[in-house]
Structure formats: structure tokens, C-alpha cells
Structure 1
Amino acid sequence: MIFDRKKIQKSFCTWMRALNKRIHFPSVNSSVKNLEDNKVIVTIEVSEDDIEVAIDEAFKKISKEVKLPGFRQGKAPRKVLEAKFGKEYARSEALNDIVGEVYFQAINEHELDVIAQPQVELIEGQESGAAIFEATVEVRPTIEIQGYKNLEIEVSSPHVTQEEIDESVNRLLEQASERNEVSRPAATGDFITMDLSGAINGEPEESLTAEGFVFEIGSSFIIEEINASLEGAEIGQEIEFGGPHPSEEDTELGFVAKILSIEEKILPELSDELVAELSEFATVDLLVADTKERMEEMKRNQLPGQATSKILEAISELVTEEVPEPLIQEQIQQQMQDMAMRMAQQGMQFEQFLQATNQSMEDIVANLREPSEQSVRTDLALRAVAAAEAIEVTESDVENEIENVAKQYALQAAIQAEEIDYSLEMTSEEIDGQLSPRIQTEKENLTNSLQENGQIRILKADLLKQKALKLVEDSVKIKDEDGNEIDKKEIFVENTENASELSQNGSNPDNPDPKEEELSESDD
């Protein structure tokens, strides 16, 4: 007798609620046998007494579902139901009802980190006596990695160069630039006026055809080959160029451009008068100082995310083992759900997105596979670091994380309800003081939700990986593009992001178990 996976999935939330409310559920004796390829067999024995309790519950359920002459629905006694349907039917229903509960009890007891749905089979007890189930399931592999304390990454320099400042100032000057027609060959920065005709896979395409089309050499176009092709072009010349379609496989674009005119761009001389006319600053010095300050702030803000991304990428490359397919598939599904959610927020259906981008569902899955596999490698690597360094997550860590998230929820809700006069100048103590009752309510709701749906272990896994990442950050060597070492204090500040945000960088399909609709579908 092999059981329906959907029934096993449905039993998860039932079992967690029973566990937290201390409702009676079958006690089990279980054992685990390791197999190859990260699989285990979980053998589960349920006593005859517990089977009888489950049979009695099954008869109660049957009574509510059927109508019998002479009895109100749900009031027919067991003897009548047994005579009508037979005890064998109720026993079959009972076994189906308890299989998920006893399975989740067993994996919880043995702390198995399962990554796929199980194959569960009834070995003994289909007709009478105690029941013995065997569940074959794949678990997350435990790996070891080398070199995580000797990582070296490259990020953008936090310092602004004079060239970058000049480029920014020149973009301002371009507002007052002039064009001067020239007879020389075209160069980068020149404006080319041309008659353009295009084709798709050799067939003329009207939408790619334009007369008097103006293009600045060095700017973006549907295919990048245009810039190299127009360099050195002369008036009256016909230029042919082509390249692959940027978003459609096996599609080639071809163009013929007849050069009508070439104009060079002339920037005005930088002066205090021009700066005052084009900007809010009275002098060149003030403009340059502000430009440098803004660019340095932007770089400082970008560096932590850039460095973390590079660290996660580097540590994922230390994983040499083959990545389990269920983890990759779970991550692909998670990313697709995230995409669909973002589109829904913008008022777009997933089918509309596919049509607009001329992609199929298979194309999306194929494009997501590589980043999904890297995310899984990152997850395995961070867990390996945590294991090697004996990193632990305490109950205090969990409570603090829940409280931090509760504060965020409370603040968002209070702002929307206009219950708080919020300003950026307010300290966290002032905010917490005004929102204390709401924070406590959010904390209790969040704790109950996590417990009832078995997500505390997912939260712990997130916190564990966050600690592992912090350890790697402390030892990594960071350099800029020129090989200059960067002080990590310029990049990393006290880590205040909550654990759920870590999952967006180093994803972890930690829980294949079903979740309630009100909970986030994301894994660690």
C-alpha cells in the first residue's frame, strides 16, 4: 500500500497544531537506515492501540460525511457505520489519516533535514494489528569545504577618481552642448544621421526600418555591433552589420545603414557662469565638491551588497559535490513564485509577461537553473562553514530575530494606520516606546504562526547561515580593481539585517513541507 503524497503534505500542519496544542496523536517507534545518494529509509511502527484510536476517529469523520436513514448527519453510532461500511474501510481511512502525522513525528525525532517528498509504503498492518510504514526520502547532504578562511574578492573602489568626476560634470555640460557637422570619418561620441533598414533572419522587417535615424556612437542599440560598425564610417557610405537578437534564440538581426551626415558634439567651456545657469551651484568648485560627495556616498552604499554578493559567489565555488536535483527544483519554483508575486504587484499576469517577452515557461525555467544551482551551492557552503566552526543558534537568537521582525511589522502597520507621527529623526527607543503594545501583539502572532507551521527550524537555519556568513566576512580579503586592499571597516557595519533577508542572497530550499497560505512561501 503506497500513500498519496498530498495526504502526507496535508498532515504536516495538522500534526504541528496537534503538537503545539498537545492533542493526542499516535506514538511511534522509529529507526533510520542510511542509503546511497543522500537517501534514508525511515521505519515507523504504530501500536495497535493507536490504530484503534485512529479508526474510531475515522468512523466519526465518516459519520459527518454520509447520510443514513434514521440518524442525523454526524450522529450515527460506530456499530451502525461498521455494519454499513465495514471496519476494513475505516481502517484504510485511518491509516491514510495518520501516515503523515507519524512520518513527521519520526523525521522530527531523528532531526532529519529532508529535501523532497517521501515515498511511503505500508509494510505490515493493512488488515489488523500494529502498522509498520517505510518512508524513503532524500535528505540534505552534509559536505565539507576547504579554503573559506582564505577567500579574496574584488569590488569597486570606494574612492572617486577625477575621471569619474569629469564624466559626471560633462553630462551636465551636455545640456548646453552643440553639434557641428564634419566631413571626417565618424568617431565615438559623434551623432550619425542615417537611413536604416533591418531584417530578421534575412527577411526585411518594417519595424526595423527608419529614414533619418539619428544615433550617437557609443550609446545603446538593439544589437551592440552597431558601434564598432559605425566607427570610421564616412558620409555616403553604406554599412552592413548584424548580430543575434538579444532575447530570442536562433534569431539573427541584420541592418544596412546609409550615412547621411556626421556631427561632432562640442561641449561648452566649464565656468562659474555656466554652472550657475545649469545647476543649483554658484561655482565650479561647489559643483565638483558636491559631485564627489554624492558619488562617494553612492559607492559606500553599494559596497556592502556588492561585497556580500561576491563572497557568496566565491564560497559557492568551494562546493565540489554534485548538487541534489530536488534542491535546485525547489529553488527554481521559489524564484518563479517571487517573479509572479512581483508581477502581480505591478498588475501583470505571468502569462502576459511570457507573451510580452516572447518566452515560454521552459525558457524561464532554463534561465533560472544556473542561478538556482548557485544559490543551493551557497546554502550548502554556509551550512558547511557553520558545522566546521561549531556555530550554534540559541533560543535567545531566535527570540531577538522574531522581535526585530515584529518591530518592523508594527512600524509598517502603525504608519499605514497613521497611529504614529514617524520621522527619520526618531530614535529606535522612541519608536519602540510608542509602539510597545503593537510590537508585543505582532511578536506573539509571529511566534504562534512560526510554531504552528513548523517554520522555527527554517528560521534557525537562516540565523545559522547568517552567523556563518559573518565569520567568512571577517576573514575575507577585499581588493579593488587595481589590486589595492580595502579595509573591511569601510564596507561592513554592524549586521542588522534580519535572517529572512539573508535568504535572498544565499537561498536555501530548506523545507519541502507545505505551508499555510498566510505564510511566506520562501525557504531559508
Structure 2
Amino acid sequence: MKSTVEQLSPTRVRINVEVPFEELKPDFDKAYKALASQVRIPGFRPGKAPAKLLEARLGRGAVLEQVVNDVLPKRYSDAVTASDVKVIGQPEIEITKIEDGQELAFTAEVDVRPEIALPDYGTLKVEVDPIEITDEDIDQQLQSLRQRFGTLKSVERAIENGDFVSIDLSATVDGAEVEEASTTGLSHEVGSGQLIEGLDEALIGLKAEESKDFNSTLVAGEHAGKEAVITVKVSSVKERELPDADDEFAQLASEFDTIDELKADLKTRVERVKKVQQAGEIRDKVLEALLAAVEIPLPEKVVQAEVDAVKHDAVHGFDHDEAKLAEALEAEGSSLDEFNKDTQEAAEKSVKTQLLLDAVAEAENTQVGQDELYERIIFQAQRYGMSPDQFIQQIQQAGQLGAVFADVRRGKALAGIVTQTVVTDTAGNTVDTAEMFGTPAEEAEEVSAEELAEVADATEAEA
């Protein structure tokens, strides 16, 4: 087999492949065997008919078609390996010559990873916010903990923000009832904003057994994007009573004997979480600085494939009806044009980032150990509420294990750059990135998911 490469652009090549027919004998043998098992010829058992009889029955063209279909993927792969081009995306293959008994020739146009001139990482400079722990931060954490141990009691007053209610909901669009939008006995925390837009405002001031109509835009179902008249009826109202923040509460809610000891522990937790958040800010800003420092030509077809995937997922939720998607976007104050523009920009940035970090990983010879890969799999599995074995099976079936590996390698490569970058906070202090990124980002701080969730919950409650 002979192959040559033509550079069509910085991100695309054409691979020309010529295969002499004498190299295809094993492929012809395999094709005859496959066809013989499919065709019944009198006097011969299945799979035993001679090649000449098969050709006489099916025609030489059918045999050639079978051989070509089997040959192209492997010969293309062999040509890529031999040429040492770093392909990305799917090839466009065109057969240019079939001379029976002589030669098979084809071309494959495919996007490739461009050459990227990487900067001196030591010249990169970023600035981040300093870590500050305030009394308010501690109070938020303590308040969140008290809420977890709070109790609900019924009240007869009007609903206030933070109350817990049991409600019935119904909706009409143009006077017609929307069955899928009706429900009874629904529990809701007023002010959480977790249900229909406008519901919390409508509930404030109502009492048990009272109801109210308000307008809102439906976001799901066949009426998605349409304005509906929503009726909410209150069945019961409860408020949450919080335990006093004293030594007795500290003993109930933790392993500590006093409230001061509990507060000291909460301060430590907040500090650790803020360090992780600062590490994330540093990582993002270093990546932005690196992207700004290099020129990266974009492979158009790879970008378009990512755009198409996002659009497909978006319109899938609206029964692949783009008009319904447009209505939903308009209800949110956006438009289909804005969505398409944002999707294009996000895809371009995503592809640029992947190409850049792949180039860094290759230049720095970044290696990924089995333990590091498995840790990422565990982390991802927890996010999706799956066991690691289930998650591995799912990504293997989807052919995504390589993508997970690539993400780990890119993250590790970026962490290596961070440690070479000059990082200061807005107060002028140098930030010790080695402490944060001396190991992969997930290992840098032993902060549990529960701790992160607690801080997030407290922050949302305060907001």
C-alpha cells in the first residue's frame, strides 16, 4: 500500500491511498467466505461454494463491493498511522479508482490537529480575588445547619417568605385546561423559586384554603412557551422553627461540645471550600490567558459537528420542532438567532480549548495513570447517581472512554501550566499555586461533596 498526504489547510488534509490487488487476496478470501454463508447454491453446503460459482451467481461487482466495504476502514487507519497525522473528526472518503486485478485507490479528506506555537508559561500573569472569611460566612453555614435540624409547625397567619406550603395547581391556555400542568398536595418552600415562575409572588399573603390566579409561561409539554393562567390553592401553611445556636445544639448536630468549637470547625470548612473555589478561578483565568496568547486555526467541520450536537439536543426536548424551541427562547427573553450565535461561539471556544490543551499535553509529555482515570470515573459516576461499574459500562457502550481519558489528560496538563504562571490576588499577594495544583485538581483539596453542597446551599439561601 502507498499513501501520500496533501495539506489542504492548517486544519485539513487529503490522504491519497493506493492498494495493489495482490495485497487484497486475504480480503477477497474473507469476502467469498462471507458471501458463501449468505447464498445457497445447490449441491454445496452453506459456506462451501467455490469462488467462481459465487461470482457467476452474484457477479464480480458484488464481490468487489464486499471487499471495498471491508477494506476501506482498515486501509484508511493504516494510512493515518503511516503518515503520522493527528486526525480529528470523521473522514470524507471517495473511491477514485478500481481497476479489477490491478489497483484500488481512494482519498480521505479529514480535519487534523493544527500546529500550535505555545508561549513561555512563565510570562503568563493572572489576578484573582483573595480568600476572605467573614463572620457572615460562618453565620450562613450555622444557619444552614440549624435549618437541617429545624422542625415544621402549622400556622394560621398569611404566607411569608420561607414558609412551607401544601398547594394544588391547575392551568389553562386560551381557556382550555392543561391536564399535565395540574397537581394536588404539592409541597413547596416559598421563595425557593423551584416551581413555576411567579408562584412565590402569588403565594405571599395568602392563607390556608385561599386561592389566586396568576399568569406564567409554561416551559414543558405541548404548550411549552405559551402563556397560561395558573390557579394556586393553599391547603396548609407551616413555618420552620430553628433550634437555638447554643452548646446543646452543637452536641446535637456535631461531635463538638460547644458552639464555639462548632463555629471554629465551620470556619475551617469554609476556608477549605474557598481555596477550592479560588483554585477554580485560577485555573479558568490561566486558561483564558493561554487562549489569548496563542493563535489556533479552527477545523470548521469539527466545530460544526459540535454545534449540530448541541442544536439536536436542544430541539429534541421540543419534539424536534424548531418553532417550539424559538417560542420557548422568546419566553425567556432570548431568540433563536441569539441561541445559534451563543452555540457557535461556545463550540468554537470548546474546540480551541481542546486543541490547545492537547498540544500542551503532548509538548509536556503529560501522562495519565490508571488511578487518575478511575478517580475521574468515580467522580463522574457520583454526579450522575450511578455506580462506577454502571458508568464505565455506559461510557464504553457509547464509545466515550477515550473522551474521559482525554479530559483527565487536559486537566492535568492545565494544572501543570498553572504552577508555572505568575498568580497574584487583588491585594498584591503572590498565590502559592503549588499548594493547590501540585497534584491533579480533584486531589488538591480533600473537600467532600457534602461540604461543597452545604456552602452552596447556604449561599443560595442567603441570596
TM-score normalised to structure 1 length? 0.54
Q: 2 CA distance for matches of 1:123 and 1:54?
A: 19
Contact 2:415 2:441 in 1 (8 A): no
The answer to whether structure 1 residue 150 and structure 2 residue 118 are counterparts is no
Distance, in Å, in 1 between the alignment partners of 2:156 and 2:371 is 67
Q: Among 159, 162, 168, which residue is 2:135 paired with?
A: 162
Structure 2 unaligned regions, length at least 5 = 326-338, 378-395, 444-463
Aligned to 2:23: 50
Q: In structure 2, how many angstroms separate the alpha carbons of the residues matched to 1:215 and 1:456?
A: 40
| SS of residue paired to 1:69 | coil
Match of 1:129 in 2: 102
Shift of 1:58: 3.6
Deviation by residue 1:105-155 (Cα, 9 ceiling, x = unmatched)? 111111223333333333233334223222233334445577975353647
- Counterpart among 279, 285, 307 of residue 260 in structure 2: 285
Post-superposition Cα deviations, 1:486-514, rounded to whole Å, max 9, x if no partner, equal: 4324422323879xxxxxxxxxxxxxxxx
What TM-score results when the alignment is normalised by the length of structure 2?
0.60
Is the alpha carbon distance of 1:196 and 1:79 closer, same or farther for their aligned partners in structure 2, counting shifts above 3 Å? Answer: closer
Which residue, 389, 401, 409 being the options, matches 2:369? 401
Question: In structure 1, what is the Cα distance between the partners aligned to 2:31 and 2:164?
Answer: 80
What amino acid is aligned across from residue 492 of structure 1 in structure 2?
Answer: F
| Secondary structure, counterpart of 1:494 in structure 2 | coil
CA–CA distance in structure 2, aligned partners of residues 309 and 376 of structure 1:
16
Q: Is the 8 A contact 1:120 1:136 kept in 2?
A: yes
- 2:357 is the alignment partner of 1:382: yes
Q: How many residues align?
A: 396
Pairing 1:493–2:438 present:
yes
d(CA) in 2 for partners of 1:56, 1:179: 81
Residues in 1 aligned to 2:401 and 2:165: alpha-carbon distance in whole angstroms = 63
Q: Distance in 1 between matches of 2:253 and 2:25?
A: 86
Q: 1:246 to 1:285 in 2, by over 3 A?
A: farther
**1:292 aligned partner, one-letter code:** K
Query: Whole-Å Cα distance in 2 between the matches of residues 86 and 212 of structure 1?
Result: 70
Partner of 1:139: 112
Asked if 1:41 corresponds to 2:14, the answer is yes
Structure 1: tracts of 5 or more residues without a match: 1-27, 340-353, 410-449, 499-524
Code of the residue aligned with 1:494 in structure 2: it is T
Paired residue type of 2:126: E
What is the Cα deviation at residue 173 of structure 1? Answer: 4.9
Could you tell me whether the CA contact under 8 Å between 1:391 and 1:467 is conserved in 2? no
CA, structure 1 residues 240+151, in 2 after alignment: closer, same or farther (shift >3 Å)?
A: farther
- Please give the per-residue CA displacement for 1:152-190, whole angstroms capped at 9, x wherever unaligned: 3647x655321111122234555569999999x99866x
> Is the alpha carbon distance of 1:467 and 1:166 closer, same or farther for their aligned partners in structure 2, counting shifts above 3 Å?
closer
Q: After superposition, where does 1:346-357 map in structure 2 within 5 Å?
A: none
Deviation track 1:37-85 (CA, whole Å, cap 9, x = no partner) reads: 8432221112243245544554444444434334444444445445555
Give per-residue Cα distances to partners, 1:472-498, cap 9 Å, x unaligned. 212445567988764324422323879
Question: How far is 1:31 from its partner?
Answer: 1.1
CA contact under 8 A between 1:271 and 1:284: conserved in structure 2?
yes
Compared CA separation, residues 264 and 95, structure 1 to 2 (3 A): closer
Moved more, 294-303 or 161-170: 294-303
- SS in structure 1 of the partner of residue 419 of structure 2: helix
Tell me which of 301, 305, 311 is aligned to 1:329. 305
Q: Distance in 2 between matches of 1:403 and 1:297?
A: 24
Judge conservation of contact 2:150–2:241 (CA < 8 Å) in 1. no
Aligned to 2:392: none
Q: How does 1:5-16 map to 2 (within 5 A)?
A: none
Contact 1:31 1:44 (C-alpha < 8 Å) held by counterparts: yes
- Classify 1:62/1:167 alpha carbon distance in 2 versus 1 (closer, same or farther; 3 Å): closer
Q: What's the offset of the Cα at 1:386?
A: 5.1
Q: How does 1:101-500 map to 2 (within 5 A)?
A: 101-143=74-116, 150=124, 152=126, 154=128, 159-173=132-146, 216=190, 218-223=191-196, 244-245=217-218, 250-252=225-227, 270-272=245-247, 275-276=250-251, 281-300=256-275, 304=279, 307-308=282-283, 311-312=286-287, 321-322=297-298, 324-327=300-303, 329=305, 359-360=318-319, 374-385=349-360, 390-392=363-365, 397=367, 401-402=369-370, 465-466=410-411, 468-476=413-421, 486-495=431-440
* Per-residue deviation, 1:29: 0.9
SS at match of 1:42: strand
* SS state at 1:31 partner: strand
Paired residues of 2:298 and 2:351 also in contact (CA < 8 A): no
What is the root-mean-square deviation in Å for CA atoms of aligned residues?
5.8
Question: 2-side partners of 1:288 and 1:122: how far apart?
Answer: 72
Checking the alignment, whether the CA contact within 8 Å between 2:361 and 2:413 is kept in structure 1 is yes
Q: Secondary structure at the match of 1:125?
A: strand
SS in 1 for 2:4: strand
Cα distance in 2, alignment partners of residues 239 and 285 from structure 1: 46
Residues 479 and 188 from structure 1, CA distance in 2 versus in 1: closer, same or farther, beyond 3 angstroms?
Answer: farther
Alignment-derived partner of residue 514 in structure 1:
none
Match of 2:391 in 1: none
Give the secondary structure class of the aligned counterpart of 1:120.
strand
CA 205–194 in structure 1, closer or farther in 2 if over 3 Å, else same? farther
Residue 266 of structure 2 aligns to which amino acid in structure 1? T
Match of 2:458 in 1: none
Distance 1:241 1:327, change over 3 A: same
Secondary structure of 1:160's aligned partner = coil
Cα distance, 1:257–1:478 mapped onto 2, change above 3 Å = farther
Change (3 A) 1:298 1:53: closer
Identity of aligned residues (%): 27
Match of 1:96 in 2: 69
